[in-house]
Structure 1
Amino acid sequence: MPLELRQVEKSDIPAIGRMDRLVMKENGISQAIWKIQEAAGIDTTYAFERFISTGMEHHAETFWKIVDTDIDEMISVAKFSFQYHEGEAYQDTPVQGEEPPPQKLLEFFTWLNKESNAFAKENFAGRPHARFTDLAFLATHPSHRKRGAAHVLLEKGTQKADEAGLDMYLQASLMGAQLYKKFGFEVMSVEEIDLSQYGVDKVETRTYMKRTTRAVGQ
């Protein structure tokens, strides 16, 4: 069954939302976010769709999918954020006109991202770079794993970063880290996150990885 790399379109967002829910249903961090959103009366599917679609039309965003052309279905997707300007290592782009997230969710992200923000600023603040994360931006449908789809997406993203002369970083799961190493990412640190205070009886591990830009063709 042939696979084809295509640009993500706005019409793909609902399918990406469904895929994310399927792929991340056992992930403790996602479970904590959903609990907070549901307690605040927020539609978790709609919230994710707004989140994942933010910045789609910005020149710094690269958003790709892999389609199985035999069944004409998206089986994998990845969103990379290329930051070309100097300044903070990572900046969230608010959706104009949207209600702000509930305070508890903001507090959760402040707590969750303390180490990741410190890592990003230490390694990238003041320098243009590319950013990619596997928590919300890379997903492969469970029925289509081990077909090389994620490999194609990572190959595309790292190629674009090299062409732009940008270093990259990401936060990986233990499983994802093995794949990223094949593309030149090196482990910088590992963090264990105890989510029990947010009603989830899990300890998730995040691996912080960095990739130095390479000359095109290497």
Structure 2
Amino acid sequence: MSLTVRPAAESDLPRSIAIERRAYGPNKTSPIFFPGEGMKLEDRIAIMTTRIKEEPATQCIKVVDTELEAKGEEAMIAFSMWFIWSGDLRPSFPKRQWGAGTNLEACEAFFGEMDRRWWARFEGKPHVYLKLLHTDPDHQKRGAGGQCLKWGTAEADRLGLVSYLEASEEGRPLYEKYGFKEVDRIVVDLTKWGGTEPAIAYLMLRQPVLN
């Protein structure tokens, strides 16, 4: 296996967003949330950079293919963003910035509801929150997503903290393999914006494994 987990830096954000866009789109709901050309790359980078700088609990990691790296090729194949609220760190309600190229009403109905459900469950409480995880489609089924989950769940177990995430239908089986269980779901009707399918997010919890 030529995959290794490393800390991700701000300079990795353009590649992480490129992976995100390849992994999640196009699909039947993305044109509703991000009509036209969608959010510009620089806006997405700015939003992520601000969140990382303002939230000290943020830890970003990447999975690198060392064989590709040795060849001088693009080696980052997966990225994940975790919030680890432990010790003196406590969560605060996020200030969402949707940016240009987004359907503000639809984003608030779906992604804003993710924030509200999370906050209702965890306001002021220590926990581990997996906010982003995506793998380059050219490198899926190689275990990169699992490497990210192993890293985060190991941290949660070390700290004795519950873990939380929002999953898509496609991602849910992977999270279940690592001990996450569905505790709620968000279903948003998108027909008022021309959608043909609802947007669904599965809210999942994992209890720490204590030694």
Q: Same fold (TM over 0.5)?
A: yes
1:142 aligns with 2:131: no
TM-score scaled by length of structure 1: 0.79
Q: Distance in 1 between matches of 2:116 and 2:152?
A: 24
Report the equivalent of 1:65: 62
What is the letter of the counterpart of residue 80 of structure 1? W
Kindly indicate whether the alpha-carbon contact (under 8 Å) linking 1:54 and 1:93 is maintained by their aligned counterparts in 2: no
Structure 2 gap segments, 5+ residues each: 70-74
How big is the shift at 1:115? 4.3
Q: Distance in 2 between matches of 1:117 and 1:45?
A: 23
> Which residues of 2 match residues 65-104 of structure 1 at below 5 A?
65-72=62-69, 73-84=75-86, 85-86=89-90, 88=92, 90-92=93-95, 101=99
Kindly indicate whether the alpha-carbon contact (under 8 Å) linking 1:185 and 1:210 is maintained by their aligned counterparts in 2: yes
Q: Distance in 2 between matches of 1:119 and 1:14?
A: 29
Kindly indicate whether the alpha-carbon contact (under 8 Å) linking 2:3 and 2:65 is maintained by their aligned counterparts in 1: yes
Q: Distance in 2 between matches of 1:203 and 1:45?
A: 26
Q: Distance in 2 between matches of 1:166 and 1:92?
A: 24
Q: Distance in 1 between matches of 2:209 and 2:13?
A: 32
Percent of aligned pairs sharing the same letter = 27
How big is the shift at 1:37? 7.4
What is the letter of the counterpart of residue 11 of structure 1? S
Kindly indicate whether the alpha-carbon contact (under 8 Å) linking 1:169 and 1:209 is maintained by their aligned counterparts in 2: yes
Report the equivalent of 1:158: 153
Q: Distance in 2 between matches of 1:108 and 1:5?
A: 35
Higher deviation after alignment, 185-194 or 68-77: 185-194
What is the letter of the counterpart of residue 51 of structure 1? I
How big is the shift at 1:203? 2.2
Structure 1 gap segments, 5+ residues each: 95-99
Q: Secondary structure at the match of 1:205?
A: strand
1:164-199 Cα offsets, whole Å, 9 max, x none, are 332221110122111111222111123333323234
Kindly indicate whether the alpha-carbon contact (under 8 Å) linking 2:32 and 2:103 is maintained by their aligned counterparts in 1: no
What is the letter of the counterpart of residue 24 of structure 1? Y
Q: Secondary structure at the match of 2:178?
A: coil
Report the equivalent of 1:5: 5
> Which residues of 2 match residues 150-189 of structure 1 at below 5 A?
150-189=145-184
Q: Distance in 1 between matches of 2:179 and 2:77?
A: 24
How big is the shift at 1:36? 7.2
How big is the shift at 1:87? 5.8
Q: Distance in 2 between matches of 1:187 and 1:129?
A: 17
**Which of 46, 52, 62 is equivalent to 1:56?**
52
What is the letter of the counterpart of residue 140 of structure 2? R
Q: Distance in 1 between matches of 2:49 and 2:90?
A: 24
Kindly indicate whether the alpha-carbon contact (under 8 Å) linking 1:61 and 1:79 is maintained by their aligned counterparts in 2: yes
TM-score scaled by length of structure 2: 0.81
Report the equivalent of 1:97: none
How big is the shift at 1:118? 4.3
Report the equivalent of 2:201: 206
Q: Which runs of 4+ in 1 moved over 6 A?
A: none
Report the equivalent of 2:126: 128
| CA RMSD in angstroms, aligned pairs only | 2.7
Instruction: Identify if the C-alpha distance between structure 1 residues 7 and 29 changes in structure 2 by more than 3 Å, giving closer, same or farther.
Output: farther
